[in-house]
Structure 1
Amino acid sequence: MSTVEATEARATPTAEKPELVPGAVLIPFILVTCCFALWGFANDITNPMVAAFQKIFLTGATEATWIQVAFYGGYGVMAFPAALFIRRFSYKAGILLGLGLYTIGGLLFIPASSIGEFYPFLMAYFVITCGLSFLETTANPYILSMGPAETATRRLNLAQAFNPVGSLIGMYAASQFILARLDARGREARELLPAQEFEAVKAADLEIVSQPYIMIGIVIAVLFLLIALMKMPNHKEAAKTDASLKAIFGRLLRSKKYVEGVVAQMLYVGAQIMCWTFIIHYGTEVFVAEGMMEKDAQVLSQQYNIAAMTIFCVSRFICTFLLKFIHPGTLLVYLAKGGVCLSLGTVLLGGQGGLYCLVGISACMSLMFPTIYGIALKDIDGDDAKLASAGLIMAIVGGTFLPMLQAGVIDNWNMGFVSAVEASFTLPLLCFVAIAVYGYRTAKIHDASPY
């Protein structure tokens, strides 16, 4: 090589790796990522409330699970209106409306606690998740758009990694500020109380339940102001294809990877909510059988739930790193297979062994939501991406009917070889089987090339 050629070779810039988060949008990225943590808080302070309201209002598991129906039903109702809203206005407007509804829902716990009935709480939960639906429909594609397309899935996984941080805080608040402070009397003792004394106990417990939601409503209001005052990136693209709703839905329905992704997401969310809601019932059954008081058993079970979320959080960071080397569909298959095996242990082992398996499922679930989301949205952009995102957020409605089915198993199972609570975890097992199939089809059929 001549001297001139060597000089030119040294002067030729090497291909730069695409940035994960460009410096110009770092602050907006951080603010939007805070939203991921805050809806994680709402999700996971609420899951243990099924057991809490079951005791406070003396209901069965099925009736108490209406909390999850109201909570996750908001996603099903508001996802597409949220997509149409951000299509008409902007991502920033969608974030602000979501935060506003979240704030209102949290503050609705004030009148709900004063009324002292079950159904006003369902309304408060529903309003919160109408806000969360706007946030998730908006924040996920917003994060994907904040940088190069090559790093979009990793960027979303990074933002989603902070979701379990909020979830951990929510679980801790449920354990220490709600479950540990509720009146120690169990269901049978409460049923024997005179009406006036029962109402006094119920009112005190409902005030305890409401306080964290009211506080988070105030925190959300502060974040609302910060984002309202911040200049946020505005990703508006000129329409490259027919942007009519009919044409967009037609294109989405023709994408097998997207349609299957919506189904996989619905089953994943259902499995997640089932595992994190009914771990309280599972652990309480285990510890009461060992001679523990019901309240102490519930509080200890929530500690196992916190351990599960800690594992979930750590595993998400690890799996986000692994995505640099492993195709998302392939990693999804491995994680889903692990979920199947651990669910089987939860059903068949029972006792402490089954509880450990139930905790371990969270390691397998850690990357499923953002990975399914990223796979399903790959190669979809513009207005199509906004509505496609809404479909994936609407899939969170799986958190309504699947936990209700599990509660029905708990209330009605009467075969002796496994308990009703143990048998109910067959449902998450089946969900993980379907997710494994989607991961396989993604890696081998839909997208044979690496991301």
Structure 2
Amino acid sequence: MSSITSPSSASRAAATTAHSNYTTPLIALTTLFFMWGFITCLNDILIPHLKSVFQLSYTQSMLIQLCFFGAYSIISLPAGALVKRISYKWGIVTGLAIAAAGCALFIPAAGYRIYALFLGALFVLATGVTILQVAANPYVTILGKPETAASRLNLTQAFNSLGTTLAPLFGAFLILSAATVAATNATPEQLDAIRATEAAAVKLPYLILAVAFLILACVFAALKLPVVEEDEQQGEQLPGNSAWSYRHLVLGAVGIFVYVGAEVSVGSFLVNFLAEPSIANLPEADAAHYVSYFWGGAMIGRFIGSAVMRYVDDGKALAFNAIVSAVLLLITVTTTGHIAMWAVLAVGLFNSIMFPTIFSLALHGLGKHTSQGSGILCLAIVGGALLPLVQGTLADTIGIQMAFLMPIACYLYISFYGVKGSRPRAS
């Protein structure tokens, strides 16, 4: 009797073949995660640098994060519609080209030495990064088995953390070190020349990044990436008329909002916090090197998480990390010296799996609504614009150390989402 391959067997065979063809595109996508991690973390160096150049308060310096992450609130939903229309691949190419233009705008901003121009350049840069996020994050979850989506996204996000680890070293060497030397050797009469030198220090780094984004845009335009229709995603789709119908997506969007807000708030204040006499009393250029420990911890945690989460429930792992992060921040605000310093730096290790895990849990079961859901989640990244502004106001009023109380509330919500709010269901 001859054997006949059933449709289900054929489908499984086709899926297995498809999965084996996803290795090259996933490798290519990791470069994007690296680049936007690098460019986002460079803001942590830009904040103390421009704070010195323009003599800003903490609240005013947080306008950098407001403009950068504020782009997500304006661009995310249109970006979701754009990616749905032109495909994940061309969404990535478009995002890279816009990011390159944003980096190039730093050159005239530094030349004219106007803070508003820096903020405008950051907004354009963030527009490109937003489109990249909307396209690349769900693309990674689709390219492979649905049950390993969180693990896969954690692995690619580990390379995002590699970018965030290297960015402070890059910024300290090319931006803060030049400014420190100029300030040390200057007399009061040379103040304007010092500010001009400090402003000009951003030109070379952002020119290098503009070229890198353009090269990547050309590479992705030439690559043959698999076209995956959302209707064909693996896994069973939950019922729902739109992405907004899914309770676990909406709660996940809140989770993304508070997570990004907490992470950016902590990272943005690290250089100034470590410079405090009661903490480590470090010069800004030296403090920037320690910021790499914060982001390096996130990188290590994501590599560990990508392996461990193949065996541990995603929601429970998320809740555990969130609770530990809250405890570490409580230690940060109640102690001084090296204990407070290493407690806040250790938060990076436990931040590691949060963003990709929340993202993949929130998109689970959305099927044809995945692009819209991704746009909603990227819209929630606006938390990185608003919550650092809140922490900046707290730092100006109750002190930079006590301001770290704010992210604790964020991590408590994330622990709730991991335990209960992430359970997939349509409203």
Larger Rg: 1
Please tell me the root mean square deviation across aligned C-alpha atoms, in Å: 2.5
> Is residue 75–residue 130 contact of structure 1 (8 Å, CA) maintained in 2?
yes
Shift in alpha-carbon separation, 1:239–1:151, aligned structure 2, 3 A? closer
| TM-score, structure 1 normalization | 0.86
> Is 1:96 the equivalent of 2:93?
yes
- Of 202, 215, 235, 2:208 maps to 215
> Is 1:395 the equivalent of 2:380?
yes
Shift in alpha-carbon separation, 1:156–1:141, aligned structure 2, 3 A? same
Shift in alpha-carbon separation, 1:20–1:439, aligned structure 2, 3 A? farther
Structure 1 residue 368 displacement after superposition: 0.1
Structure 1 residue 48 displacement after superposition: 2.2
The percentage of counterpart residues that share the same residue type is: 27
What CA deviation, in whole Å up to 9, does each residue of 1:278-299 have, x standing for no partner?
0111100047x77x5xxx5212
- Aligned letter for 2:206? Y
Structure 1 residue 21 displacement after superposition: 8.6
Q: SS state of the match for residue 181, structure 1?
A: helix
Structural mapping, 1:134-149, within 5 Å: 134-149=131-146
What CA deviation, in whole Å up to 9, does each residue of 1:108-152 have, x standing for no partner?
111111111111111111101000000000001111121222322
Q: SS state of the match for residue 22, structure 1?
A: helix
The residue that corresponds to 2:8 in the other structure is none
CA–CA distance in structure 2, aligned partners of residues 228 and 269 of structure 1: 30
> Is 1:270 the equivalent of 2:261?
yes
CA–CA distance in structure 2, aligned partners of residues 373 and 32 of structure 1: 16
- Aligned letter for 1:135? L
The residue that corresponds to 1:386 in the other structure is 371
Shift in alpha-carbon separation, 1:272–1:430, aligned structure 2, 3 A? same
- Of 279, 291, 312, 1:326 maps to 312
Please list every run of 5 or more consecutive structure 1 residues that lacks an aligned counterpart in the other structure: 1-14, 241-246, 414-419
- Of 217, 229, 237, 1:224 maps to 217
CA–CA distance in structure 1, aligned partners of residues 158 and 195 of structure 2: 37
- Of 175, 189, 193, 2:188 maps to 193
> Is 1:132 the equivalent of 2:117?
no
- Of 274, 283, 286, 1:297 maps to 283
Please, which moves more after superposition, 167-176 or 264-273?
Answer: 167-176
CA–CA distance in structure 2, aligned partners of residues 310 and 19 of structure 1: 34
> Is residue 20–residue 147 contact of structure 1 (8 Å, CA) maintained in 2?
no
CA–CA distance in structure 2, aligned partners of residues 322 and 428 of structure 1: 26
> Is 1:344 the equivalent of 2:358?
no
What CA deviation, in whole Å up to 9, does each residue of 1:161-215 have, x standing for no partner?
110011112121112221122144769x98x834xx3222111111112321110
Q: SS state of the match for residue 162, structure 1?
A: helix
Structural mapping, 1:301-312, within 5 Å: 301-312=287-298
Shift in alpha-carbon separation, 1:306–1:286, aligned structure 2, 3 A? farther
CA–CA distance in structure 2, aligned partners of residues 251 and 313 of structure 1: 34
- Aligned letter for 2:210? G
What CA deviation, in whole Å up to 9, does each residue of 1:338-391 have, x standing for no partner?
011101001101222111110011111000000000110011122x10010011
Structure 1 residue 31 displacement after superposition: 1.4
The residue that corresponds to 1:73 in the other structure is 70
> Is residue 252–residue 421 contact of structure 2 (8 Å, CA) maintained in 1?
no
What CA deviation, in whole Å up to 9, does each residue of 1:282-334 have, x standing for no partner?
100047x77x5xxx521222122111111111111111211011111000111
- Of 409, 414, 424, 2:394 maps to 409
Structure 1 residue 27 displacement after superposition: 2.0
| TM-score, structure 2 normalization | 0.90
Please list every run of 5 or more consecutive structure 2 residues that lacks an aligned counterpart in the other structure: 1-11, 234-238
Structural mapping, 1:15-164, within 5 Å: 22-164=19-161
Structural mapping, 1:245-264, within 5 Å: 251-264=242-255
> Is residue 20–residue 154 contact of structure 1 (8 Å, CA) maintained in 2?
no
- Aligned letter for 2:104? L
Q: SS state of the match for residue 278, structure 1?
A: helix
What CA deviation, in whole Å up to 9, does each residue of 1:61-97 have, x standing for no partner?
1111111111111111111111110111111110011
Structure 1 residue 237 displacement after superposition: 4.6
The residue that corresponds to 1:440 in the other structure is 419
Paired residues in the alignment total: 409
Shift in alpha-carbon separation, 1:138–1:184, aligned structure 2, 3 A? same
